[in-house]
C-alpha cells in the first residue's frame, strides 16, 4: 500500500539555525503516529511543514499523491500547497476559533469559503461533526462561552468538516487545564477508531501508548527512534528516548 504521507530528506532552517535535519518518514492510511520529544526538538515545526504553514527549506512533502518540492516558487507551487492543505486538517494548541462567530459559523467557515461547499450541506456536515464531539447543543454559542476543552473539541469538529485525508494535531491539550484534557483525548481516540490518519505532537505519553500505531521520537531536529509503542516504552533503543520516558514517569516535561 502506498503511504498517504511521504516526507523525503526534509530540512528546515530559520536563518542559520537548522531545526529539521534530513527527515524521511512514511505514514500509511488510517495510521496514528505520535511525535514525542523535548521542547525545541522540532516536533511542531515538522508538523507545520507538512501543510506548509512553515515552508520547508529542502526536501519533498507528498500527501495523498500530491507531491510538493521545497523551495519552488510561482503559481504552480502555490496551487500544490493549496491542494495539500485541502487534504490536511489542523488542530492547534490555542484553538484559533473566530471570537465573533458562533460555534456553527466557525465550523462551516472553511467548507463554505475555501471549498465552495453549498451552505446547507456545510451546515449539515458541521452539525454531524459537532454531534460527534458532543457539542451540537452549543452550536449557537460563541467561543467566549465555552471552556478550553469545549473550544478544542469545536476546533476538531471544524477540521473534520473540511473532510481531510490526514489530521494534524499540534499539542492539542497543552493549553488546557488538567481536568479538561481527558475530554479532548477521548474525542481524539474516537476519531482514530473511525479510521482517520493522524499525526499527533503530544506530551501525553498515556495517549501515545494506548492509541498510536507508531511513536516517533525527535531530538535536535532528527527522528532518533521510530517504533511501536509497546516496544518503545519498554525497550527504548536510543538513550535520549530512555531519558525522555524516565522524565515523564517522574512528571518532568
Per-residue pLDDT at 250: 64
State the burial class of residue 234 (Cβ atoms within 10 Å of its Cβ: 0-12, 13-18, 19+).
exposed
3-state secondary structure of 64: coil
Q: List, run by run, the mean pLDDT of 10-residue segments along the chain (253 residues).
A: 91 96 96 94 96 95 96 91 95 92 97 95 97 96 95 96 96 90 94 96 92 96 95 91 81 54
Is the Cα dihedral 130, 132, 137, 143 positive or negative? negative
Instruction: For the chain, give the number of residues.
Output: 253
Per-residue pLDDT at 214: 97
**Helix, strand, coil abundance in the chain, percent, nearest 5:** 40, 25, 35
Amino acid at each position: 500500500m502506498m503511504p498517504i504521507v511521504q516526507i523525503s530528506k526534509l530540512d528546515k532552517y530559520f536563518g542559520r539555525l537548522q531545526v529539521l535535519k534530513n527527515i524521511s518518514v512514511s505514514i500509511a492510511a488510517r495510521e496514528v503516529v505520535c511525535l514525542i520529544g523535548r521542547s525545541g526538538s522540532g516536533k511542531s515545526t515538522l508538523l507545520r511543514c507538512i501543510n506548509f504553514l512553515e515552508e520547508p527549506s529542502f526536501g519533498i512533502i507528498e500527501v495523498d499523491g500530491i507531491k510538493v518540492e521545497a523551495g519552488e516558487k510561482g503559481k504552480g507551487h502555490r496551487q500544490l500547497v493549496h491542494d495539500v492543505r485541502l487534504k490536511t486538517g489542523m488542530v492547534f494548541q490555542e484553538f484559533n476559533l473566530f471570537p465573533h462567530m458562533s460555534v456553527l459559523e466557525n465550523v462551516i467557515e472553511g467548507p463554505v469559503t475555501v471549498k465552495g461547499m453549498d451552505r446547507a450541506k456545510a451546515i449539515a456536515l458541521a452539525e454531524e461533526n459537532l454531534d460527534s464531539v458532543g457539542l451540537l447543543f452549543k452550536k449557537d454559542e460563541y467561543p467566549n462561552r465555552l471552556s478550553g476543552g469545549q473550544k478544542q473539541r469545536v476546533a476538531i469538529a471544524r477540521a473534520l468538516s473540511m473532510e481531510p485525508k490526514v489530521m494534524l494535531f499540534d499539542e492539542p491539550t497543552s493549553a488546557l487545564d488538567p481536568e479538561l484534557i481527558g475530554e479532548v483525548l477521548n474525542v481524539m481516540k474516537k476519531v482514530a477508531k473511525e479510521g482517520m490518519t493522524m499525526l499527533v505532537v503530544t506530551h501525553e505519553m498515556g495517549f501515545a501508548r494506548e492509541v498510536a500505531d507508531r511513536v516517533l521520537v525527535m531530538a535536535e531536529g532528527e527522528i532518533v527512534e521510530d517504533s511501536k509503542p509497546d516496544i518503545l516504552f519498554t525497550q527504548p533503543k536510543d538513550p535520549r528516548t530512555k531519558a525522555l520516558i524516565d522524565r515523564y514517569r517522574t512528571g518532568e516535561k
